[in-house]
Amino acid sequence: MSLHFIPERRRLLQCGALIGALPAFARAAEPAPLQLVGPWEVSGLAPAASGYMFARLQVAETLMGALDDGTPAPALAERWSTSADGRTWRFVLRPAARFHDDTPVTAEAVVRCLRTAQVVPSLLSGAPIRSMEADGPGEVVIALSEPHGRLPALLAHSSTLVLAPSAFDAQGRVLRIVGSGPYRIAVLSAPQRIETTVFEGYDGPRPAIARVRYLAAGRAETRALMAEAGQADLAYGLDPVSLQRLRSRGKVPIAAVTLPRTAVLKLNAADPALRDLRVRQALSLSIDRAGIARALLRDPELAATQLFPPTLGDWHNAALPPLRHDPQVAAQLLRQAGWHPWPDGLRNAAGQPLRLVLRTFVDRPELPLFATALQEQWRQAGIAVQIAIGNSGDIPLGHRDGSLQLGLGARNYATVPDPSGTLAQDFGPRGGDWGAMGWKSDAVVAALEELTRGTPTAARAAALRGRIAEVLQTELPVIPVVWYRQQVAVSPRVVGVRLDPLERSYRLTEMTWRA
């Protein structure tokens, strides 16, 4: 594997140059690689930094996997069990699994990586782990100080990737990516380019596609043009305008899947204007979600009728009364809350105006557009909102110093396959950077505690999830706006593309070339 760093972004012509970098005679002699292009760059070799990239490319594996609905599934561990008291977990490794340096995957190597992944503030550091030990070469035993049903989900997160001992230097830093997946690294040119080839020592079926190239291209328009020009077989992270153009021309098929991500408004429920539930309800009722989804995402089905999108099947509650657009009811609620129309907007009995500041950021380019649409819809309701565009760190900072009124962000509720952990961060006793602020529900806290710490029956877990969704829908500590959909341009020469709603894998091993 070669490793070197490219400091600058490439534009479209340079992207084409990278794709065509091999000599003509070499390209003629070898099967064509599958070319992927996306917005994600390699920011470092440590699993906590860019582990998700190596997991998606099926270069490295985690101890546990997950099905589309988040249910635990085998990965490096082919089976697992728990003790009667839920405090001891035993994971049995695939006996024939090997690293790309042709050494066996051992329990000792797994434990070393998991201990590295425990460093605060990692996700795994939040689990009540008392010890992790290798029991012989093929079994990992994790002892807990208390039951923790989310452990398999944490062990499926990309920050817990298992790498070979040869991947590390004497200080424990990652020098190279030596995984155990069906593909191994051939070239890694951070931050832009990764090339992989089939690992012949993999203990599973041999992939039909032998070589893969991934290229990071920052602009969505560039990625769409590459797909249209045949320079990319799969183009991820496409913008609505490019998608509309590709669909209208009909030359490049589009694959799509709804993601467990929602654009949400975070509200400071301790703010004098927002502590009244009627004001929060009025803000929600003033939002034309279908209009925003239709105009900005070109997809009215992405209007968020509740916090959890349908892809989170265990959490999406079809029985909940949907969030709706009703300006008349919003106006009634504002009057009941003491806000009355003046020539310059709404004011209370003391003459104070209803004026709010909405913070958002450009890391996700659609968010300022959403904010502008919300500002106009609220203006029509008499609510004056100023938009402050900064960076993604401004919202957590405003949460911590108490200055935030409204914050607009995109929250992934399946950062780990089990959303209860993310929800516990957001709606726990003290709220969270991307969740509640100045709001607490004892019912939600208790339900999340039981889900994350206990081992409820399936029926009890479903009831707890339903209760959480109901309280969040009713009390609106955050206001959902739209859901997200991953849409990928797919070359006609590729078949078997099946998108992962949890964005854990590109599922390259399921793809084949069209005959």
Q: Is residue 448 part of a domain?
A: yes
Q: How far apart are CA 389 and CA 384, in angstroms?
A: 16
Task: Identify the domain boundary among 132, 151, 179.
Answer: 179
Would you call 303 helix, strand, or coil by DSSP? strand
Give me the CATH number covering residue 123.
Answer: 3.40.190.10
Neighbours of 177 (CB within 10 A): 27
CATH classification at residue 407: 3.10.105.10
Are 85 and 226 in a shared domain? Answer: no
Domain boundary among 164, 179, 194: 179
What is the pTM assigned to this prediction? Answer: 0.87
> Order of strands, edge to edge, in the sheet holding 384-390?
2-5, 183-190, 193-198, 211-216, 34-38, 234-235, 478-490, 254-267, 406-412, 355-361, 384-390
Q: Which of 128, 158, 179 is the last residue of a domain?
A: 179
Evaluate whether residue 166 is within a structural domain. Answer: yes
Report yes or no on 367 lying in a domain.
Answer: yes
Q: Does residue 55 lie within any of the structural domains?
A: no
With a CB cutoff of 8 Å and minimum separation 6, the contacts of 80 are 64, 72, 89, 90, 91, 92, 152
Same domain, 503 and 480: no
What's the domain range around 377? 258-485
One domain, residues 39 and 25? yes
pLDDT score, position 364: 85
* CB contact set of 473 (below 8 Å; sequence gap of 6+): 306, 307, 317, 320, 321, 323
Burial (CB count within 10 angstroms: exposed 0-12, middle 13-18, buried 19+), residue 140:
buried
Residue 395 within any structural domain of the chain: yes
Give domain status of residue 154, yes or no: yes
Q: Which residue has the tokens 């794709």?
A: 19
Q: Are residues 343 and 372 in the same domain?
A: yes
Q: Kindly give the confidence (pLDDT) of every residue in the chain, 515 residues in length, as a single tens digit, with 9 standing for 90 and above.
A: 444 433 333 444 454 544 444 444 444 445 689 999 999 999 999 999 999 999 999 999 999 999 999 999 999 999 999 999 999 999 999 999 999 999 999 999 999 999 999 987 788 998 999 999 999 999 999 999 999 989 999 999 999 999 999 999 999 999 999 999 999 999 999 999 999 999 999 999 999 999 999 999 989 999 999 999 999 999 999 988 899 999 999 999 999 999 999 999 999 999 999 999 999 999 999 999 999 999 999 999 999 999 999 999 999 999 999 999 999 999 999 999 999 999 888 999 999 999 999 999 988 889 999 999 999 999 999 999 999 999 889 999 999 999 999 999 999 999 899 999 899 989 999 999 999 999 999 999 999 999 988 778 999 999 999 999 999 999 999 999 999 999 999 999 999 999 999 999 999 999 999 98
Q: Concatenate the DSSP letters of all residues of 165-221 into one string.
A: GGGB-TTS-B-S----SSEEEEEEEETTEEEEEE-TT-SSPPPS--EEEEEE-S-HH
Q: What stretches of 274-339 show up as alpha helix (H) in DSSP?
A: 277-285, 289-296, 327-336
* Pair (410, 468) in one structural domain: yes
Q: Which of 249, 237, 94 is nearest to 162 (CA)?
A: 94
Instruction: Answer yes or no: do 75 and 158 share one domain.
Output: yes
Closest C-alpha among 405, 351, 356 to residue 381: 356
384-390 and 355-361 strand pairing? parallel
pLDDT reported for residue 9 = 39
What is the total count of domains within the chain?
A: 3
- SS3 of 149, please? coil
126 and 243 in one domain?
no
DSSP state of 437: B
Domain match, 306 and 160 both: no
Residue type, 280: R
Answer yes or no: do 463 and 446 share one domain: yes
Name residue, tokens 């004497």: 170
The verdict on 357 and 468 lying in the same domain is yes
| Geometric angle at alpha carbon 53, from 49 and 56, rounded to 5° | 140
Say what the pLDDT of residue 421 is: 86
Residues 425 and 390 in one domain: yes
The structure tokens listed for 500 are 């992962």
Q: Do 66 and 174 share a domain, yes or no?
A: yes
Please state, in angstroms and as integers, the Cα–Cα distance from residue 493 to each residue in 32, 153, 221, 231, 511, following that order.
Answer: 11, 35, 22, 12, 10
Is 53 contained in some domain? no
In a domain, 54, yes or no: no
CB 192 within 8 A of CB 6: yes
- What local confidence, expressed as pLDDT, does residue 31 receive? 65
pLDDT at 30: 58
Long-range contacts: 219-224, Cβ < 8 Å, 24+? 220/39, 222/11, 222/12, 222/15, 223/37, 223/38, 223/39, 223/489, 224/489
